[in-house]
Protein backbone atom coordinates (compact mmCIF):
# COMPACT_ATOMS: atom_id res chain seq x y z
CA UNK A 1 0.00 0.00 0.00
CA UNK A 2 1.37 3.39 -1.00
CA UNK A 3 1.96 5.98 1.68
CA UNK A 4 0.24 9.32 1.19
CA UNK A 5 2.79 11.21 3.30
CA UNK A 6 4.76 12.25 0.20
CA UNK A 7 1.74 14.03 -1.25
CA UNK A 8 -0.23 15.03 1.86
CA UNK A 9 2.52 15.57 4.42
CA UNK A 10 3.19 13.88 7.75
CA UNK A 11 0.26 12.84 9.96
CA UNK A 12 -0.26 15.34 12.81
CA UNK A 13 -2.96 13.33 14.57
CA UNK A 14 -5.89 11.03 13.87
CA UNK A 15 -9.39 11.78 15.17
CA UNK A 16 -12.02 9.06 15.67
CA UNK A 17 -15.46 10.06 16.88
CA UNK A 18 -17.70 7.48 18.57
CA UNK A 19 -21.15 8.03 20.05
CA UNK A 20 -19.84 8.20 23.62
CA UNK A 21 -16.19 9.21 23.26
CA UNK A 22 -13.81 10.94 20.87
CA UNK A 23 -10.29 9.54 20.49
CA UNK A 24 -7.20 11.35 19.23
CA UNK A 25 -4.03 9.48 18.35
CA UNK A 26 -0.72 11.32 17.96
CA UNK A 27 2.26 9.58 16.35
CA UNK A 28 5.47 9.87 18.39
CA UNK A 29 9.02 8.97 17.47
CA UNK A 30 8.87 5.71 19.44
CA UNK A 31 5.12 5.00 19.75
CA UNK A 32 1.78 6.76 19.96
CA UNK A 33 -0.04 9.04 22.39
CA UNK A 34 -3.79 8.34 22.67
CA UNK A 35 -6.19 10.88 24.17
CA UNK A 36 -9.90 10.41 24.88
CA UNK A 37 -12.48 13.12 25.47
CA UNK A 38 -16.21 13.66 25.68
CA UNK A 39 -17.82 13.95 22.23
CA UNK A 40 -18.73 17.62 22.77
CA UNK A 41 -15.11 18.67 23.45
CA UNK A 42 -13.40 21.16 21.13
CA UNK A 43 -11.04 18.60 19.64
CA UNK A 44 -9.34 20.95 17.16
CA UNK A 45 -8.27 23.25 19.99
CA UNK A 46 -7.20 20.28 22.11
CA UNK A 47 -5.26 18.80 19.18
CA UNK A 48 -3.43 22.06 18.56
CA UNK A 49 -2.50 22.38 22.25
CA UNK A 50 -1.28 18.78 22.45
CA UNK A 51 0.77 19.26 19.27
CA UNK A 52 2.37 22.35 20.80
CA UNK A 53 3.33 20.44 23.97
CA UNK A 54 4.63 17.43 22.02
CA UNK A 55 6.67 19.70 19.77
CA UNK A 56 8.21 21.52 22.75
CA UNK A 57 8.99 18.19 24.45
CA UNK A 58 10.52 16.86 21.24
CA UNK A 59 12.76 19.89 20.78
CA UNK A 60 13.66 19.77 24.48
CA UNK A 61 14.70 16.11 24.15
CA UNK A 62 16.73 16.94 21.05
CA UNK A 63 18.52 19.77 22.87
CA UNK A 64 19.20 17.60 25.93
CA UNK A 65 20.65 14.80 23.80
CA UNK A 66 22.94 17.31 22.07
CA UNK A 67 24.15 18.82 25.35
CA UNK A 68 24.19 15.50 27.19
CA UNK A 69 21.66 16.71 29.78
CA UNK A 70 18.61 14.68 30.77
CA UNK A 71 17.05 17.39 32.92
CA UNK A 72 13.93 19.22 31.78
CA UNK A 73 13.38 22.76 32.98
CA UNK A 74 9.90 24.12 33.58
CA UNK A 75 8.92 27.73 33.05
pLDDT for 70 beyond 80: no
* pLDDT confidence of residue 62: 54
Max Cα distance, the chain (Å): 47
Residue 2: band (very low, low, confident or very high) from pLDDT cuts 50, 70, 90: low
For 44-54, what is each residue's pLDDT tens digit? 899 899 999 98
pLDDT of residue 16: 93
H or E stretch including 8?
helix 5-8
Q: Write down the pLDDT at residue 71.
A: 45
Amino acid sequence: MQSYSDRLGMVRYSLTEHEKVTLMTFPLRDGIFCLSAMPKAYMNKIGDKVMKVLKSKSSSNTRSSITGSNKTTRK
